[in-house]
Amino acid sequence: MSWPTAPFKIAVTDGDRPRGRLRFGSHHGLGQTCGSPAMTLLATRWLRRSAAVVLAVLALASCARESLVGTDLGGQAAPDFTLVDGARGDRVTLSALRGSVVLLTFLYTQCPDSCPLTAEKIRQAAEALGSHASAISFLAVSVDPAHDTPEAIRDFLAAHALTGRLRYLIADAASLSAVWRNYSVGVGRADPGVVHLDAIMLVDRAGRARILLHSDVEVAVLAQDLRLLASE
């Protein structure tokens, strides 16, 4: 699966503007004075139309502020997989989560930097969402099958207050490698540890990959993206 790199943008265009000018007290055209009933009616209509235009522009500006942030993944179908929840032991299939928004990331429990940061961002975003977090499925796929044991996973989740919230998925090396490859997550051994893409991918309710973020994302941005996708 190849991910595009162009940022997601929403173009905002201005709405209609009032055409023409109302000429109060003119002796041409209607020939009415400012205080006449006809001019009062015209003025009222013009003001109403102007107010409607202002409201439309404000609404468009609000929509612009509420746009998804991150790298646009084009809405292509997120590759399916079935892995095992390392903390609980049950199987998790991505396609079975259709109907909920999915946050998908890639971690390893012995990671000293980006993985703990990503875990904290996920916890904080979930807390910011409050009851709306129930519409989100939070998944992490292991990039270190040799060391991400059930015990290590449970300790990692507890350390980041994510027990019961983040499903940390494991499998044999071959099965995990297929997922890394399908999501273009380069994984390699380092000394010590693992080198990998610190990806946070957001999948919408229809199973389409929508947004790519990274561990440096602001919590407010992550929470907003999740909330917007959940509201679609």
Report pLDDT digits (tens) over 146-192: 999 999 999 999 999 999 999 999 999 999 999 999 999 989 888 77
Which tokens is 52 given? 């409607």
Name the helix (H) or strand (E) containing 210: strand 209-214
Task: Classify 94 as helix, strand or coil.
Answer: helix
Question: Mapping DSSP to helix (H, G, I), strand (E, B) and coil, where does residue 99 land?
Answer: coil
221: tokens are 């941005």
Given the DSSP bridges, would you call strands 166-170 and 71-72 parallel, antiparallel or unpaired?
A: unpaired
Q: Is 176 within 8 Å of 147 (Cβ atoms)?
A: no
Listed in sequence order, the residues at least 6 apart from 120 whose beta carbon sits closer than 8 Å to its beta carbon are: 160
**Cis ω for the linkage preceding 192 (within 30 of 0):** yes
Does residue 32 carry a pLDDT above 50? no
Q: Residue 211 forms beta bridges with which residues?
A: 72, 202
Determine how many CB atoms are found less than 10 A away from the CB of residue 231. 10
Give the span between the Cα atoms of 190 and 197, in whole angstroms.
Answer: 13
pLDDT at 177: 96
* Cβ atoms 144, 108 nearer than 8 A: yes
Alpha carbon separation from 158 to 120, 137, 153, 170 (Å, rounded): 12, 18, 9, 17
Q: List, for residues 72-113, the tens digit of each pLDDT value.
A: 999 999 999 999 999 999 999 999 999 999 999 999 999 999
Tell me the C-alpha distance between 30 and 215, whole Å.
65
Q: Max alpha carbon distance in the chain (Å)? A: 90
Coil vs helix vs strand at 52: helix
Out of 57-71, 130-144, 161-175, which region has the weakest mean confidence (pLDDT)?
57-71
